[in-house]
DNA sequence: CGAGAATTTGAAAGTCGTCAAACGACGTGG
DNA sequence: CCACGTCGTTTGACGACTTTCAAATTCTCG
């Protein structure tokens, strides 16, 4: 049995960005005709450089987007949770690979169709631009993290972000491995472990099988030294 | 230098497949009504968190987008050169500040107008999505750089990228300070200098008042260990 | 229960950052 | 036109945070 696999974050879709878009009664994306696809853990949804024919919205499970260097160094650009979209803003080919962190269900759309539909439906076109803006904002926050934050700040930031995305303030599910986290935060597995251990010994968090419990979110926030607000 | 209107942020070693967009006869952006604004060096075009009423296209000069942490740590997300656009994909407020690196001339558009126009003109709507996609791709490349590349690789990558964006292969103009470069590449001024000195002593580059000459772009490329070929 | 993988911990090494100071480019003022 | 002060760049020495290498421990799954 897949232990942690099914304890993946569940949450209604439609909250793609924690952005306060004025209450959208019907998400234009929901109107698109999409095929439901399931993907087993560790399977690749698409490869880096692959022709980008489809785009996707995550229904359940967790995906990661990955960039590789020839010598094996890896950068996980993002983890995608239910409601998140990917592939909508690529060009002809995908900039990075997308892989299933857990068993995953996604809704798949033909990009050509989406583009065509966007030309007819203003709401969708706007939604697509919003989607891009969300992704861009997230990427920019990560630039600051990777460029300027220390190891402990990165971990704290990451845990808080995951908590927020799961709409939880005490329990954070971490479906991805420590290696994935390391490659996401620009550090090594060992450093990730050490930082987590440190937080645990401080009593700030507790490590449980499928994630961590946040005992002192305030302390985390202080460590994260979060910008904006 | 105004001919660069279509040169949105380009990849280092601009391959990535033929960057879709076949030769665009008329850029939808050119049709927008924009006011020309000049900005002296070091002046701020807009502040972080400021209400995003306008968006811009660079006509001449160089801008930087900046994120600040309370303790002063700074991340330069991007340098913008003639033809580049900014502010098109923000939400209500700007995610970061934009400041003039040199004296700058920009064309300013009211975002509300752009959005409205996009609703009427498919080409513009598509162009806006492309713009977002370009920015996103650039940001992702930078994630890999910040997360996984060494100091020398970052410098090499940066020089090659600047050369490509200036459509030059031997002479690179660097209008920004070493501090700006450092804050862009996630390192310190001292390290930037050391890396440049190292390349100079190797004979790979030569430092001139306004930038550097690339004597051995091949060597740079090798150092950059560039992904995506 | 046992083998292999993932996580955690430890010790040593390195890269990069910090602190400090010299050097050089400019612009102002004498 | 040159002296001088300021700011940006460069260089050096030292220290620290992370990484690297190695191994113990825990967890997963057959």
Question: What integer is the mean pLDDT of A179-204?
Answer: 98
- Tell me the pLDDT of chain B averaged across its residues: 88
Confidence of residue B226 (pLDDT cuts 50, 70, 90): low
B10/A102: higher pLDDT: A102
Question: Which positions on strand D lie below 7 Å from a protein C-beta?
Answer: 8-13, 17-22, 27-29
* DSSP 8-state assignment for residue A93: B
Predicted local confidence at residue A24, as pLDDT: 54
Task: Please give, chain by chain, protein residues whose CB is below 7 Å from any atom of strand D.
Answer: A 1-5, 150-152, 186-188, 190-191, 194, 209; B 177-179, 189-190, 192-194, 196-197, 207
Chain B positions touching A55 (Cβ under 8 A) are none
Predicted local confidence at residue A35, as pLDDT: 96
Predicted local confidence at residue A27, as pLDDT: 85
Predicted local confidence at residue B163, as pLDDT: 97
Is A83's pLDDT higher than 60?
yes
Question: What integer is the mean pLDDT of B73-93?
Answer: 94
Three-state DSSP string of A113-169: HHHHHHHHCHHHHHHHHHHHHHHHHHHHHHHHHHHHCCHHHHHHHHHHHHHHHCCCC
CA of A206 to C1' of C1 (A): 29
| Residue A190 beta carbon within 7 A of nucleic strand C | yes
Predicted local confidence at residue B75, as pLDDT: 97
- Tell me the pLDDT of chain A averaged across its residues: 88
Confidence of residue A8 (pLDDT cuts 50, 70, 90): very low
Predicted local confidence at residue B31, as pLDDT: 86
Distance CA B218, CA B229 (A): 15
Is A74's pLDDT higher than 60?
yes
Q: Residues A112-128: pLDDT tens digits?
A: 999 999 989 999 988 99
From the CB of residue A168, how many other CB atoms can be counted at a distance below 10 Å? Answer: 16
Q: Residues A137-190: pLDDT tens digits?
A: 999 999 999 999 999 999 999 999 999 999 999 999 999 999 999 999 999 999
DSSP structure string for chain A: --GGGGG-----S---SSS-----SS-GGGGS--EEEEE-TT-EEE-TT-B--EEEEEEES-EEEEEE-TTS-EEEEEEE-TT-EESTT--SB-SSEEEESSSEEEEEEEHHHHHHHHHH-HHHHHHHHHHHHHHHHHHHHHHHHHHH--HHHHHHHHHHHHHHHTT-SSEEE--S-HHHHHHHHTS-HHHHHHHHHHHHHHTSEEEETTEEEES-HHHHHHHHT----
β-partners of residue A205 are: A214
Question: In chain B, count of helices (H) and strands (E)?
Answer: 6, 11
Chain A positions touching B228 (Cβ under 8 A) are 48-49
β-partners of residue A214 are: A205
Predicted local confidence at residue B5, as pLDDT: 36
From the list A189, A135, A47, the residue with the least C-alpha distance to B140 is A135
Confidence of residue A92 (pLDDT cuts 50, 70, 90): confident
β-partners of residue A109 are: A55
Predicted local confidence at residue B73, as pLDDT: 95
Confidence of residue A26 (pLDDT cuts 50, 70, 90): confident
Question: What integer is the mean pLDDT of B16-44?
Answer: 76
Chain B residue at shortest CA distance from A96: B140
Q: Mind telling me how many Å the CA of A47 is from chain B's nearest CA?
A: 12
Question: What integer is the mean pLDDT of A183-204?
Answer: 97
Global pTM?
0.88
Inter-chain Cβ pairs, chain A and chain B, closer than 8 A: 141
Predicted local confidence at residue B14, as pLDDT: 35
B9/A36: higher pLDDT: A36
A17/B115: higher pLDDT: B115
Predicted local confidence at residue B18, as pLDDT: 42
Sign of the dihedral through C-alpha B127, B133, B134, B135: positive
Nucleotide nearest to A207 (CA to C1'): C7
From the list A142, A199, A202, A133, the residue with the least C-alpha distance to A172 is A199
Question: What integer is the mean pLDDT of B162-191?
Answer: 97
Q: How far is CA A116 from CA A121, A134, A156, A171, B122, in A?
A: 9, 22, 42, 42, 10
Q: Residues B191-218: pLDDT tens digits?
A: 999 999 999 999 999 999 889 999 999 9
**Lowest model confidence (mean pLDDT) among A4-18, A73-87, B121-135, B142-156:** A4-18
Predicted local confidence at residue B57, as pLDDT: 97
Predicted local confidence at residue A5, as pLDDT: 35
CA of B65 to C1' of D9 (A): 23
Predicted local confidence at residue A10, as pLDDT: 37
Predicted local confidence at residue B26, as pLDDT: 81
Question: What integer is the mean pLDDT of B153-179?
Answer: 96
Q: What is the maximal distance between C-alpha atoms in chain A?
A: 57
* DSSP 8-state assignment for residue A5: G
Strand order through the sheet with B205-208: B171-173, B211-214, B205-208
Chain B positions touching A117 (Cβ under 8 A) are none
CA of B195 to C1' of D5 (A): 29
Predicted local confidence at residue A226, as pLDDT: 57
Q: What are the tokens at A226?
A: 């979060």
In this complex, which residue's CA is closest to the C1' atom of nucleotide D29? A1
Confidence of residue A7 (pLDDT cuts 50, 70, 90): very low
Predicted local confidence at residue A225, as pLDDT: 77
Predicted local confidence at residue B25, as pLDDT: 67
Percent of chain A scored above 90 by pLDDT? 77
Q: What are the tokens at B224?
A: 């950059």
Question: What integer is the mean pLDDT of A80-107?
Answer: 94
β-partners of residue A79 are: A64
Chain A positions touching B147 (Cβ under 8 A) are 75, 146, 183-186
> Are B143 and A146 inside 8 Å of each other by CB?
yes
């Amino acid at each position: 049995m897949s232990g942690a696999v099914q304890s993946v974050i569940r949450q209604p879709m439609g909250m793609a960005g924690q952005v306060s878009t004025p209450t959208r009664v019907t998400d234009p994306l929901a109107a698109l005709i999409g095929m439901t696809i399931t993907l087993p853990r560790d399977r690749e949804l698409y490869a880096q450089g692959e022709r980008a024919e489809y785009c996707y919205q995550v229904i359940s499970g967790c995906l990661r987007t990955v960039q590789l260097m020839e010598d094996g160094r890896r950068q996980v650009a993002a983890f995608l949770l239910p409601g998140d979209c990917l592939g909508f803003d690529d060009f002809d080919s995908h900039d990075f690979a997308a892989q299933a962190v857990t068993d995953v269900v996604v809704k798949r759309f033909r990009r050509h169709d989406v583009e065509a539909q966007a030309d007819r439906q203003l709401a969708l076109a706007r939604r697509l631009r919003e989607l891009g803006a969300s992704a861009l904002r997230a990427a920019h926050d990560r630039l600051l993290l990777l460029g300027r934050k220390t190891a402990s700040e990165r971990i704290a930031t990451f845990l808080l972000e995951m908590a927020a995305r799961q709409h939880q303030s005490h329990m954070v599910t971490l479906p991805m491995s420590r290696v994935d986290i390391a490659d996401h935060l620009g550090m090594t597995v060992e450093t990730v472990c050490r930082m987590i251990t440190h937080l645990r010994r401080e009593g700030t968090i507790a490590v449980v099988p499928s994630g961590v419990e946040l005992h002192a979110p305030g302390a985390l926030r202080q460590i994260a030294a979060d910008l904006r607000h």
